[in-house]
Amino acid sequence: MEKGQYGYIKKHKKKIITSIIILGVMILTGVILSLVMFKTTKTLIIILPILISLPFAKQIVALIMCSKFKPLTEEEHKKIEKGIHYENRDGILYDISISRYEGMMFFPAVIVRDGRMLFLYQEAFDKKIPDVEFLKKEKIYFTWIRCHPLPIPAKSAYVRQFSTHSRFRTALTVDEFIKKAETIKEPDEDYVVKDQSMREKIFELGV
C-alpha cells in the first residue's frame, strides 16, 4: 500500500509492531544465550542485543507517535468518496502526517488539486494547536515552505503574506471537507504536473 491511500497508517502501524516484536525477540535471544552459555552477559554475544537496542527504541518512539493518529472510519471514508465528484481521484489523499518542530500533525484526508490544498483536521485543539487560525498558519509554513526549494524567510513574515491566501483551506468535519472540496475545480494543464509534485513532496514530510 502506498502513501496517500486509505488504510496506509493502519498498515504502517502493523509494520512497526511487527518490527518491534522481531527486534525484541532478537534482543531477548541474545541475552538468554549469553546467560545460558556463559552465566553472564559480559560476552561478545551481548553485542548483538546492544546494537539492536537503538533501532528497537526508535521503533517504540515511532509507534507512540503513530498511536496518536486517528484515521477516518470506513463510514467517513465512504462518505468522502461518494460526496466528492472528481473524475480524477489522484488529488484526494488519506492518512497524511506532517512533521513540525513541536511534533507531528495528522490529517485524515487532504486534497491537492488545481494548485490548492485542503486539509481535514479532526483532532481536539490544545496548547500546541489552540485554534483554526494557528493551524492554518502552521500548515501553510511547514507544508508550502518545505515543499519548495526556496530560501526560508522568517516565519512571521511568511505567515503574514500567505495566512489569508485562498489556496490553503482547513476543514474540521467530513461534511465541511466535502463541501469545500466540491468548490475546487478540475486542474488546469499548468497545475497537473505541479499538483503531482506537491503530493510527492507532502509524502516526504511525514511517516
Render pLDDT for 63-96 as a digit per residue (tens, 0 to 9): 998 998 999 999 999 999 999 998 878 789 999 9
What is the pLDDT, as a whole number, of residue 3?
Answer: 92
Pairing of strands 168-171, 103-113: unpaired
pLDDT at 56: 96
Which carries the bigger pLDDT value, residue 156 or residue 8? 8
Q: How far apart are CA 149 and CA 151, in angstroms?
A: 7
d(CA 179, CA 6): 20
- State the average pLDDT over residues 156-163: 42
Residue 118 has a pLDDT of 92
Using the predicted structure, report yes or no on whether residue 140 has a pLDDT greater than 80: no
More confident site: 52 or 164: 52
Give the whole-angstrom CA distance, residue 106 versus residue 25: 31
- Within 10 A of 81 (CB to CB), how many other CB atoms are there? 13
**CA–CA distances in Å: residue 88 to residues 29, 111, 119, 179:** 51, 12, 18, 17
Choose between 84 and 101: higher pLDDT. Answer: 84
Residue 92 · residue 86 · CB < 8 Å: yes
- How confident is the model at residue 80, as a pLDDT? 96
| Mean pLDDT computed over 189-204 | 86
Q: What is the C-alpha separation between 137 and 139, in angstroms, rounded?
A: 5
Residue 124 has pLDDT above 90, yes or no: no
Residue 70, SS3? coil
If DSSP codes are grouped into helix, strand and coil, which group holds residue 79? helix
User: Higher model confidence: residue 124 or residue 137?
Assistant: 124
**147-185 per-residue burial string, b: 16 or more CB within 10 A, e: under 16:** beeeeeeeeeebbeebeeeeebbbbeebeebbebbeebe
Q: Where does the pLDDT of residue 133 fall: very low under 50, low under 70, confident under 90, or very high at 90 and above?
A: confident
Is pLDDT above 50 for 21? Answer: yes
Give yes or no for residue 161 having a pLDDT over 70: no
